[in-house]
Structure 1
Amino acid sequence: MNEPDGQLLSINTATLRRQWRLDQIIDGCARHGIHGISPWRDQVQALGLNEAGRRIRSHQLKVTGYCRGGMFPGNTAEERRLALDDNRRAVDEALELNASCLVLVVGGLPGSSKDLPGARLQVMDGLAELLEYARPAGMPLAIEPLHPMYAADRACVNTLEQANDLCDELGDEGLGLAVDVYHTWWDPKLFGQIERAGKKRLLAFHICDWLVPTRDILEDRGMMGDGVIDIRRMRRAVEAQGYRGFHEVEIFSEKNWWRRDPDEVLETCKERHRRHC
């Protein structure tokens, strides 16, 4: 487990979303010998679900995750119902694409609320309802904790410990974690919580790097090896628990990688995955 398996490299389509449409990303991954892809819902909708599935299957790519469901909290019962309806549609789309899991960014404070504990309770309730739909269908749900800087607007689940607690509360069947190094590398409990998750809960592993300085909290992620994250140690930690899934590159980079030739980006992903993951 010293070196990463190059066959397990996957590209989250956010990494190339400014340069290429989804059909181009699919073709590009196949051309560069990359075997995994994780598409975003808006890109799938632009291409068409059936066409996206057809193209992915034609290149024998594995859909390592589908981005994304979640955003459970709402100010009213109607808002929460609409969110749940949309999450059910996301489950259906993930099934059509034969995705390994539906990745959940759970949502933050609704509207002008300051009730963080209340938002987290809404997340648990929304998850419980969605599991009633996803479990019989056979679509695993992967809770992705986001860095605390996103607690207000994107995700009030911010640590692997919180995500593990939700799995304890709601049950492991069809529920687990997406470990994104960008969001979790800083956590002093990181490795203990990876061990706590174990093989069953580890559903996805996302890679990029944390730049110093970071100029934008959303759109200034680094390419692997350009920042301060010990990605290889984290990869070894999840694999020590039995994780044998893909290593999914997810880079939002307005000033750098989104402005580069996409073929160069894919080649760099392959090279940096080999050297730094």
Structure 2
Amino acid sequence: MNRYSLNQATTKYWPLEDVVGASAQAGLEWIGLWREPIQEYGVDKAAKLVADAGLKVSSLCRGGFFTATDPTERQAKIEDNRRAIDEAAALGTSVLVLVSGGLPAGSRDLDGARAMVRDGLAELAPYADERGVRLGIEALHPMFCSDRCVVSSLGGALDLAEQFPASQVGVIVDAYHLWWDADVYRQIERAGERILSYQVSDWVVPLPADTLLGRAMMGDGSIELRRLRAACDAAGYDGPIEVEIFNRQLWDAPGQEVFDLALARYQEHVI
């Protein structure tokens, strides 16, 4: 249980003080944070809240969204990522999760969009390194390729990450996005020290109309979560395991109820 981390996105509407308090009371060591609610709460104030509770931040979500053809817009995205790196450093986490961004509006140039992601990494990696933050490329399921993430496989994420030192750029292994890939276990082995996080949820059918909210509680779907965790372990990853679930029903449920269920399902289906 010393690796368990509840990403606050799982209990989206539960106040940060309650998430932190429940995690500390349960004897946990980690918590995963999201930029928007942390910005609203106050980055320095959140850092103090987490530290005073004896917790550490497993990751900050999210940076990225590099894909833009307009130079002004692209520069604004780079500057926002610099702020995200600063926020991660202030929160004491060494991992900033990156979602690369989809195709620019009106574009069909997938190779060009992926080149924009590479160029964004090249600009940001030294800045992050100076602040003790590693950039974690998260591949998303191919159904999100056009609008959210042109990096659609762990192999593709590694192709980008390996252009930079492992101390600067790594990858996120998110079970929801990668479980379908016949090559995923070979790619996890390839990733090795570049694995910066293992994130868990589950895949159920039918998916909701809003596929972004299609994640389910561990054990309710099709993913071999324990096998994926064992593969990450075998590759050398021994860091936090984040429960990150975007699900409207869970968001609308009492926070403590979701917290307790997630902890129980993690013990039953992940470790």
TM-score above 0.5: yes
Contact 2:137–2:161 (CA under 8 A) maintained in structure 1: no
SS at match of 1:88: helix
1:138 aligns with 2:132: yes
Identify which of 153, 160, 164 aligns with 2:158: 164
2:200 and 2:144 mapped to 1: Cα distance?
Answer: 18
**Aligned partners of 1:46, 1:26: CA distance in 2, in Å?**
16
Counterparts of 1:91-110 in structure 2 under 5 Å? 91-110=85-104
How much does 1:115 deviate? Answer: 1.2
Amino acid at match of 2:172: A
The 1-side partners of 2:183 and 2:48 are apart by 42
**C-alpha distance in 2 between matches for 1:135 and 1:67:** 17
Q: Secondary structure at the match of 1:169?
A: coil
Structure-2 separation of matches of 1:100 and 1:238: 19
| Corresponding position of 1:11 | 6
1:101 Cα deviation (Å)? Answer: 0.3
Under a length normalisation based on structure 1, what TM-score does the superposition of the two structures give?
Answer: 0.94
Residue of structure 1 equivalent to 2:174: 180
Give me the whole-angstrom Cα distance separating, in 1, the residues matched to 2:97 and 2:190.
20
Question: Match of 2:9, SS?
Answer: helix
CA distance in structure 2 between the partners assigned to 1:173 and 1:99 by the alignment: 14
From 201, 207, 213, the counterpart of 1:208 = 201
Paired residue secondary structure (1:65): strand
| Identity of matched residues, % | 44
The equivalent residue for 1:3 is none
Deviations 1:8-56 (A, max 9, x none): 11011100112x1222222222223332111111110111011100000
Q: Does 1:71 align with 2:65?
A: yes
Aligned 8 A contact 1:73 1:122 in 2: yes
Separation in 2 of the partners of 1:52 and 1:102?
A: 16
For these two proteins, the number of residue pairs brought into alignment is 269
Counterpart residue type for residue 200 of structure 2:
I
1:113 maps to which residue? 107
Could you tell me the TM-score, scaled by structure 2's length? Answer: 0.96
Please say if residues 179 and 206 of structure 1, whose CA atoms lie closer than 8 Å, have aligned partners that are also in contact: yes
SS of the aligned residue for 2:257 comes to: helix
Q: 1:260 aligns with which of 240, 253, 256?
A: 253
Match of 1:150 among 144, 163, 177: 144
Q: CA RMSD in A?
A: 1.1
Q: Distance in 2 between matches of 1:260 and 1:33?
A: 23
Deviations 1:207-227 (A, max 9, x none): 000012222311121100000
- Give 1:180 deviation, angstroms: 0.3
> Which residue of structure 2 aligns with residue 273 of structure 1?
266
Does the 8 Å CA contact 1:10/1:64 hold for their aligned counterparts?
A: yes
Counterpart of 1:204, as a letter, is: S
Give the unaligned 5+ runs of structure 2.
none
Aligned-partner SS, 2:2:
helix
TM-superposed CA distance for 1:232, in Å, is 0.2
